[in-house]
Structure 1
Amino acid sequence: MSGGPPRGLPSTGPHSLLDMPHPLAGSSSEEAVGGDSTPSPDLLTARSFGDKDLILPNGGTPAGTSSPASSSSLLNRLQLDDDIDGETRDLFVTVDDPKKHVCTMETYITYRITTKSTRVEFDLPEYSVRRRYQDFDWLRNKLEESQPTHLIPPLPEKFVVKGVVDRFSEEFVETRRKALDKFLKRITDHPVLSFNEHFNVFLTAKDLNAYKKQGMALLTRVGESVKHVTGGYKLRSRPLEFAAIGDYLDTFALKLGTIDRIAQRIIKEEIEYLVELREYGPVYSTWSALEGELSEPLEGVSACIGNCSTALEELTDDMTEDFLPVLREYILYSDSMKSVLKKRDQVQAEYEAKLEAVALRKEDRPKVPADVEKCQDRMECFNADLKADMERWQSNKRQDFRQLLMGMADKNIQYYEKCLMAWESIIPLLQEKQEANFLFGGQQSCLWRKRARSCLSRA
């Protein structure tokens, strides 16, 4: 597979929705952040004597740094779109500059997170920090705890099959960098998640490990209420719209899984065909050394097969690096949506159980307790947030797959055009040889006839 420095992706950001009210606003305020902290053990280990940092081909900076990025370099990296869907963007986040750290205890990769914002929640307009994969995982867990009613974008899968993919290879690191960049841009583009305090800490804190320690034993109120629902109560039935969402997600994940498996088989066959082409082309080149008249055409065929091999390699790399990651992201996305739908069902089950308990009370006019009303509000909040996130997800899905399929069509067209040009380029050479042979054959025939007449006249 072809490697190379990370390519910057188009920047995306949230709409300006500072005044948006939310029923669960402030629910995660119990988990305090801030204060003095000790350096992260990971970073201390990285600085220990005898350890070293291996910079990947696109460079790197020391881990654990947090400083405002220079405005000139940031403006060069970010494509600042002033207006998206009629709203002004005020937060830009990019993931780049992967760096390998070799320590006495472990080896890991960190990525530079560059943030530019005009929001009042940020003390500085620009930040630059380094994070590793487990930091992204911490962020996602915190978002799930503090925002259980919302769809949290999926992270790329952490583990790979041993012996199949090297997680420190340039190709794997670049693929993961793109996925992590997209993960943060999904959050940045969300009108609620982008204002989450844990997201702010992730983007700005110099020592994230201190915040991790503070939050290890804490659970937000909303997360706790969703987790501890009435045991043993079976949900009567989902509302039709949410039942339709569940059916759609099941079918969607099934179809994508089938496409993913077939695409992997196609890529495997293309790689096997590529190996055969690389053995096939040199045979003509070797053969040409044994043929005087056919030497030039045979060398042309060998070069043609080499060009076709290069084009096929590019197509295979595009399928592996661009097509498959999108499929897998949306398979994980469907799992995340199912998880939120299940939480919604749990809240509905809790609400129905409490309503039944109130109805069983022997009172003429039973008063609805406050906890039942609170549970009802929570369920309505779940319904509203889930439908809004589903609509946003469908819009993103349409755009992503339109871009994906159009890109795949263009790449295939380019591949076949390159192969066609390669084969057409040797046709004139073969035609010249054919004409030369024809003329040479004609001259030989005339000479033979002259010699035959001369023999007959002598006889």
Structure 2
Amino acid sequence: MSGEEDHTGLFGAEEEQESLPEMAEEECLLKKMEISVSEAEKRTGKNSVNMQETYTAYLIETRSLENASDGQNSLESLWRRYSEFELLRNYLSVTYSFVVVPPLPEKRAEFVWHKLSADNMDPDFVERRRVGLENFLLRVAAHPVLSHDKLFLAFLTQENGWKEAINEAGLQVKTDSRLKALNATFRVKNPDKRFTELKHYSDELQSVISHLLRVLARVADRLYGVYKVHGNYGRVFSEWSAIEKEMGDGLQSAGHHMDVYAASIDDILEEQEHYADQLKEYLFYAEALRAVCRKHELMQYDLEMSALDLVTKKQQCEELTTGTVRAFSLKGVTNKLFGQETPEQREAKIKVLEEQIEEGEEQLKQRNLESRDFVQKAWQEIERFKEQKNRDLKEALINYAVMQISMCKKGIQVWNNAKECFSKM
């Protein structure tokens, strides 16, 4: 469309980028185990502050594919709440900071259109969330890194003790001390251009998909209006047929075709909601991309602070060794007021500084290695994500177009049938 920004970089072929080492392809959990979220059940219980609450629990079923010929792959099942899925995802996000962790389905209904409830306990919404939670588990189980995590396997197979294991892993401490540490006051002096561009990419991805979802919502509302008009035609023809003798049969048949067509709107809206959910997954993936960028910024900030601290300590050591102060300092004023340090005191301070410099150099070296390792793994992960995104969105948009074509053909057929009814009058 004229005047529209070109977004082919999001849904078309990606620009060629520098080749990266391929992530080691280990056998993922999905090749060893069948995983499904088969049921959703409304329950009532007490929350952490001992107040009554209503929530939905989801039944996770797993079956081992190993030793299948021996008949030892019995079905196992357990129930999990949505909040437990959130805890699992937070754990994976913190533990594997370089991974674009698959998002969870929405907790509350968004982009709701006509005839679809925004109630979180609505059966249709709960069913869609059940499908989304299953998709989340399958995404993690298919991931070459996440699928090997022991706590993820425990989430699937151990009813009790799973939360305690998460707490022992120090998730809350890590979350509070690391991810929340990088705020507006922390600014990286030398940001990595690639991660800056990745943030722009994630913002654009979120913007484009949000726009698509709004368009889908408007289309769904208009469709509902069209089908309601056909329902009105059906009622009018049926009532008209009751007062017409010669045209009665033809009008009644035409009204029947209109009624059947109008009644199909529920299935169509349900199918449209399925495609919307596929788009929403990538709407939430945009935040997962930004999370990787924030983790890199925090790592880069720590690296720069280590380098600055090392330079400061080297300067202090040089000043003590040579007895010259390069710039104004409180230490220099103190020396003038209270006298110079003794040689023994100066030697002791120099020795401490030298030890701190040695530790600082080792720490800086280690942080440089960690940063390079993070960047390498993160970009392998980004490339993997982009390939997955292009494949999934291409398939979803093609299927949506096919559905629209099929729907239009059915509409044409309804009017052809009505035309035959009218021609026989």
Q: Is the 8 A contact 1:101 1:110 kept in 2?
A: yes
Give the match for residue 97 of structure 2: 148
- 3-state SS of paired residue (2:364): helix
Matches within 5 A, 1:89-168: 89-103=31-45, 105-117=52-64, 127-160=76-109, 164-168=117-121
User: Which digits, 9 at most, give the CA deviation of each residue in 1:140-176, with x for residues without a partner?
Assistant: 1211232222222111222348994233332112100
Aligned partners of 1:145 and 1:220 also within 8 Å: no
SS in structure 2 at match of 1:241:
helix
Paired AA for residue 113 in structure 1: I
Map 1:281-300; keep pairs closer than 5 Å: 281-300=234-253
3-state SS of the aligned residue for 1:157?
A: coil
**More divergent stretch after superposition (181-190 vs 214-223):** 214-223
Residue 423 of structure 1 aligns with which residue?
415
- Equivalents in 2 of 1:116, 1:419: separation in Å? 44
**Aligned 8 A contact 1:230 1:349 in 2:** no
TM-score of the aligned structures, taking structure 1 as reference length: 0.68
Q: Which residue of 1 aligns with 2:375?
A: 383
3-state SS of paired residue (2:271): helix
Shift of 1:266: 1.9
Partners of 2:198 and 2:289 within 8 A in 1: no
TM-score, length basis structure 2:
0.73
Which amino acid letter does the alignment assign opposite residue 258 of structure 1? H
- Counterparts of 1:14-163 in structure 2, within 5 Å, are 17=26, 89-103=31-45, 105-117=52-64, 127-160=76-109
Provide the residue aligned with 2:267 in structure 1: 314
Post-superposition Cα deviations, 1:183-203, rounded to whole Å, max 9, x if no partner, equal 111111111111122212211
Summarize the alignment of residues 58-457 of structure 1 with structure 2, pairs less than 5 Å apart: 89-103=31-45, 105-117=52-64, 127-160=76-109, 164-208=117-161, 211=164, 214-215=167-168, 219=172, 224=177, 228=181, 232-320=185-273, 322-360=274-312, 361-362=314-315, 369-433=361-425
In 1, Cα distance between equivalents of 2:99 and 2:105: 19
Question: 2-side partners of 1:290 and 1:115: how far apart?
Answer: 61
- Match for 1:358: what amino acid? L
Q: Which amino acid aligns with 1:417?
A: K
Q: Distance in 1 between matches of 2:120 and 2:182?
A: 40
- Quick one: which amino acid aligns to residue 53 of structure 2? E
> 1:98, 1:15 → 2: CA distance?
36
Q: Secondary structure at the match of 1:369?
A: helix
> 263-272 vs 398-407, which deviates more?
263-272
Q: SS where residue 31 of structure 2 aligns?
A: coil
Q: Deviations for 1:260-295, whole angstroms, at most 9, x for unmatched residues?
A: 112112222322333333233111110111111221
**SS of 2:424's equivalent?**
helix
| Alpha-carbon separation, structure 2, partners of 1:395 and 1:356 | 39
Matched to 2:105, the amino acid is: P
In structure 2, what is the Cα distance between the partners aligned to 1:119 and 1:356? Answer: 54
In structure 2, C-alpha distance between the alignment counterparts of 1:334 and 1:15, rounded to whole Å: 25
Between 1:287-296 and 1:218-227, the stretch displaced more is 218-227
Taking the aligned partners of 1:17 and 1:117, their CA distance within structure 2 comes to 18
Aligned twin of 1:45:
none
Change (3 A) 1:145 1:286: same
| Shift in alpha-carbon separation, 1:230–1:428, aligned structure 2, 3 A | closer
Following the alignment from structure 1 to structure 2, what is the Cα–Cα distance between the partners of residues 314 and 230? 46
Structure 1: runs of 5+ lacking an equivalent: 1-13, 19-83, 434-459
Aligned residue pair count? 349
Secondary structure of residue in 2 paired with 1:283: helix
Q: Distance in 1 between matches of 2:185 and 2:254?
A: 72
Which whole-Å CA distance do the structure 2 matches of 1:311 and 1:140 have between them? 38
Report sequence identity in percent. 22
Contact 1:149-1:381 at 8 Å conserved across structures: no
CA distance in 2, matches of 1:116, 1:373: 46
**Following the alignment from structure 1 to structure 2, what is the Cα–Cα distance between the partners of residues 216 and 242?**
28
Superposed CA RMSD in Å reads 3.3
In the TM superposition, residue 384 of structure 1 has moved relative to its aligned partner by 1.9
Distance in 1 of aligned mates of 2:263 and 2:238: 17
Name structure 2 gaps, 5 residues minimum. Answer: 1-22, 47-51, 319-353
| Residues 1:118 and 1:413: Cα distance change in structure 2 (over 3 Å) | closer
Give, in whole Å, the separation in 2 of the partners of 1:230 and 1:371: 23
Contact 2:254–2:422 (CA under 8 A) maintained in structure 1: no
